[in-house]
Structures are given as structure tokens and as C-alpha cells.
Structure 1
Amino acid sequence: MKKHNFSAGPSILDESVIKDAASAVLNYAGTGLSLLEVSHRGKEFTATIEEARNLMKELLDVPEGYEVIFLGGGASLQFYQAPLNLLKTKAAYVDSGTWASKAAKEAKLVGEVVTFSSKADNYVWYPKPWEKNEVPDDVDYLHITTNNTVYGTELRYDPDVKTRLVGDMSSDIFTREVDVAKYDLIYGGAQKNIAPAGVTFVIVRRDALGHVDRPLPTMLDYRTHIEKDSMFNTPPVFPIYVALQTMKWYKELGGVKALEKMNLEKARILYDAIDSSRLFRGTVNPEDRSIMNVCFVMKDEYKELEKDFFDLATSRGISSIKGHRSVGGFRASLYNALPKTSVEVLIEAMKDFERKH
């Protein structure tokens, strides 16, 4: 039976990318050696990481003055590394969900943090303090988490702010066109839309660095990794290789514009099914709905049927649609590699279940 992978992460990869990666594990670039055992400083991998860097710049239209680096530690390390490099006295954070809250917590270890939060409303809407000119003039930067995987909210545009802008785009990178020039720093774990867990992408404006007075640990100074082309220490070789293959596939599909069109259509048909259902309902304000992580529950009078629906979905090859343990219900993650046909299988299961009950 075909499996339909709605996992929130580590998430689905395209089958062609997986096959290419599997082949490289056996024989990488004709070396007769596995990708898992070659030197990261060999000419083959040096070419791989350089191509990955350049292709990310091309697909995201990264302007001059920015660097792309590949690091370890996931986005969770960036929660601390970003303020360590950029926060002098005070920063503003949009607390739009679980991971945004964790980012603000780490920044408080470095300096003062002002937050704009929807936590009191269970994160069902996305705070937009710039629309009301609420962002203080004296902050060093504003930090946003553009997509929130746990609660299913998303900011699908780049805000205009008077201060530096930092974006955690772990779960929606390559799903829409981004005006990189509005940001001083964009970062994210790769395990949603690019590669398996293990590599973190960082896009940073060079002239935003070097302005804090504190001494920076060598490993946590972005300039270290810029100067060494992400090779200061051994990089996560396998995930970087997979990231390159994924980005090649994106380019073949037509780039970010094509990906956005596909994702908007997948999200549209699923939200339409939820909104027209007598059993299911969405959990966040419609204007802030994520096109990556669609969160929904049974209506209150049908709560006792949740397990029955989950069992039906599982029997049809639908995998990983349980909501996050802190929220419950269901969550269908529609990352770039998930085909529309998988969404249609889920919708059909929802309709069949509704007809039965």
C-alpha cells in the first residue's frame, strides 16, 4: 500500500532525491567510496557544498552582501546564536507559537526581550505588531517565526520594519518568494523542506555582524563559518548533499513560484474540505492559516470519534496526521514534496468518514 506521509518533521522527501542519496551512500561521485566516509575537504564534497550554497542563493534570489552558510545544531542552536551575534541591548520577539517562544527564552540570556504574543488565545492568531507601529524604536532587531508547525499559523509576507529583521523559516523556506533584502538574518533547520535533520541553513547580511561588544565563542561567531566556507569543523556532509539534490529538484519544477502555486492549491482543497465538513473544524483564524501545517479537530459533539477517524486514515496509508501532543486533534503537514494526490486521499477519507457517521 502506498504511504501518504504527512509528518511535521523530519518530513517527506521526493522519491528521486531519496534514490539519489541512497546511490551516493554506496558510491559518491564515482569515487568508489560512500558519501558517509569521504573527506569533507575532498574536491568532490567541496564542489557539492559550493553548488548547494550557490543554488540556495539562486532559488531565493539572495542579493549581494549576504552569505549562505551550513551549520549543525538545528534551529534550536540558532535561538541562542542569533542574539549572541546581533543583540546588543534589547530585541523584540513575536511569540506566535511553541518554537517562537523557545527562541525568545534563549534571547533573554543575552539581553532584554520585548514580546508580542498570542499565547493567551492558544496561538490561534499571528501577532503583527508592525501593523500598529508597536515595535519599539530602540530594539536591535525584530525576530519572527514565519510558520508555526504546532499550532498551524503562518506569516506569508515579509513585514516592513524600521529595525533589523530576523526570521526563523525552518518550516516554510522555499514555499514562497522571500524579499531577503528585508532581513539581516534568516535561518532554519532543514528537516521540513530541504533535507534530513542534521544541517541548518543560515543566510546573513555581512555588515550586520561585528557590532556586539561581547566576546563570541569561535564556534558561535557567524564570521568564523563565513571565512571558512562552512568548513571550520566537519560539516554535516550527508544532509548537505541531500539538500543540494532537493534544491536541484526545486529548480527543475520551476523554482519557488511553482512550488508556491502547488502548495497553495494543496492547502486550498484541504481547508475547503474542513470548512464544509459537518464533523471537522479548523483551529486557527482563517487569515493566519498555515499552508504547511493544517491543524484541525473533530467538532465538540463528535470528539469521541477522533480515534475512529485516525484508524480509518491509517488503514488507507495516511501516516503521521496526529496533532502535536500539546494540542491534540489532527495535523496534516503539506511540505513541498507531498503530492496533491496524497491530500486528495486524506480528503476522501474525511468525506467517507462523514458519510458513515
Structure 2
Amino acid sequence: MTAPMHSTDMTANLQQLLDSAAAKRVPVAIPAGGHRLLATGLGYASNARITMVGDLYNDHGPLVGTHYCLTNRTGKRLSNVTVIGGGGSFTGATSDPAGATRKGLGIVGTDGFTVLRARTDGPLTGFGMEVKNSSGGYLNGLRLYSGVNRPGADGLHFFGACARISGSDIQVSSGDDALSFTAENHESINSMMRRITLTNMTLDSAAFSSIKFFTSTTTGKAEIRDIRLSGIKGRITKGPTGCPLAMQNNGVNQGCVIDNITITDADLDFGAATQSGPTAFLTDCTNITLRNVTLRGRRNGQFIRAIRCRGLKVTGEVWDTLPGNSMNDLLQLEQCGKYDIRLVVRSATGARIGSVHAVNNGTDTIIRRFGITGT
């Protein structure tokens, strides 16, 4: 939309509207206008069908209740929830106090959900949209213009025990990771995330990552498996940090797994990021397939740096957008095994300057660096 935020706190009024519709089991629309949520966020119920005609402004501070505009606030599992964009947006207020984490839409503890054409707008300092411990969902037509350039301002964030979710036609412009899949604190202990398929996405991040998979040292034996992503165009738009593709299994020592991830038909661009580092960075992952990918613009590092990964298969192209970079360190593989990487190497103009092949059916005990092997 987005309409100017009204000065009146509309939390109680809008919650009463949602509760009344839930009791009657009828659809409900957030009315036109810019509605200020000062006391806390709004909560949906099972069987809710909510259309966003107006805008919800997250204006509550860091110590007040939930930080979402709209989410499951019952503490129990809910089901059959539909949120439909009708021109309105989940928005952050400009009066954000220092340290406040303000999020947009939260699909939390919900089984069977549909989100169509939802929109978020900054300045949201937290996730634009988060799917957390939820299953059986469908996402389509999302427009997540969410964040300021700071950690935590992800666009679309999958967290913890999520399963059987599909989506398409998703556009993200975020401050932190554009698309993320994580198990990263006490709320995702031993969680299993699996069977998520997303297609046709534009994933722009001001910094950090276009796509990120992550486990931490505080999650027990959490798993992220069976994720399929295709039809992707992503870039880092500002920097100074950034890594278009990151897969970091930091919880490997306690049994965390990032496994069986396939990314197909993806064009990932380092953009304006300025720090040294790889375009794709992977640690302790297994059975990763990157098929028909284009990686652009490494920053004085490698196009791919993989550490202790096994079952890495990559085909596609790499475009070196910085003149003068060495061509003898395009891939860096550290103690990796069973990999097959075959990439065409192009200059910034698209001219083919060679190729790089790295194949091994065993397991390396050393660091290997690969450069151009032919013209």
C-alpha cells in the first residue's frame, strides 16, 4: 500500500475483530489504512482466513510480547490458516527503538497453512516472514521487501521443525539473508526440517546471503534435509559483507546434519560486496547438488570453498567480474570427499576463458585448490 501509520494503537480493536471472525468461522479483512500495533502483535486462530487490505505497523519495543505483526500467540498448535494479500502490508514503524526486533508475518506452530500475495515493507529489523515449527504449507506470490541492513532482518526465514512446504513466485529484498533455513537455538533442539520445495524466486540481500542454511552448536541433533530450490536469481546489493550461497553446519559435532539439498537453475551474484571471500561457502554438508548454476563476482577468494563436505555435485558457469583475479584458485576443497565439479569459466564480459574440473571418489586429507584446466 502502504498507508501512513495512524497515531492510535489499534491492537485491541483489531484483535477483537480477528477473535470475532474466528468464533463465527467467517473470513475477515484488515481494514484499509495504516494500523499501529503498539501494545503487542496480533494473533490468528485455527481455520482463520485473513485478507490484508490495510497495513499493520509493528511499533512495539524489544521488551513487549511477541515481535510479529501477526502470528500464532496461543502457545498451542493451530491448523488451517490462510493469509491473503489484498494490497496491505506487514510494515515496520520508523520509531524503532534501539535494539527492537520487529518482524512481519509469523507462521508459527501451524499445520496446514496458505499464504498468498503477502507483502512486507521496512524498516523491519527482524524477519519479514518466518515459518517456524510448521508443516503442510503453500506459499505463492510473496513480496517481501523487508529489512534494514543489519543481522536478523531476513526476508523469508524457515526455522526448526518445518516439513512438507512448497512455494513459488517469491520476491525478496532484505537487509540480512534473503532466504534462510536454520536450526540455531534452544527453540529448535533436535528439530527436523525437511521436504521444502520452492521455485521461481528473486532473492536480493543488502548484505550477508541470498540463500543460507545454518545449524548452531546449541540445537542438539537438528537436521535440515530434502530441500529443493529452483529458478533463482539472487545478488548481494550493497555489502560490505556478503556471500550469495552459504551452507554452514556449525552443529556437526553434536550430530547436526545439512543433507540432500538441490539447487537448480540459479544465478547468484556477489554484486557490490567488497570483502574477501567465496561466492559459495559450504561446511560439513553432505549430498549437495548445484545443477546449472551461475556464480558471479567472487571477491578475492574462490567461487566455491567447501570444508569437510561429501557428495558435492556442481555444474554450471562462473563469471569473474573483477579483472586481475588469479585463475589458479577458483575452487578450494578442504578434506572433502566424493565430489564432481564441472564449471565453465567466463570473464566479466561473458567470454569463455576456460573450465575447471574437480573429481574425486575418495576423501581428501589435504586442502586442494583448482584453477583453469583448458580453453
Q: TM-score, normalised by structure 1?
A: 0.20
- Higher relative contact order (Cα pairs below 8 Å, separated by 6+ residues): 1
Q: Comparing both structures, which one devotes a greater share of its residues to strand?
A: 2
Q: TM-score, normalised by structure 2?
A: 0.20
Q: Comparing both structures, which one devotes a greater share of its residues to helix?
A: 1
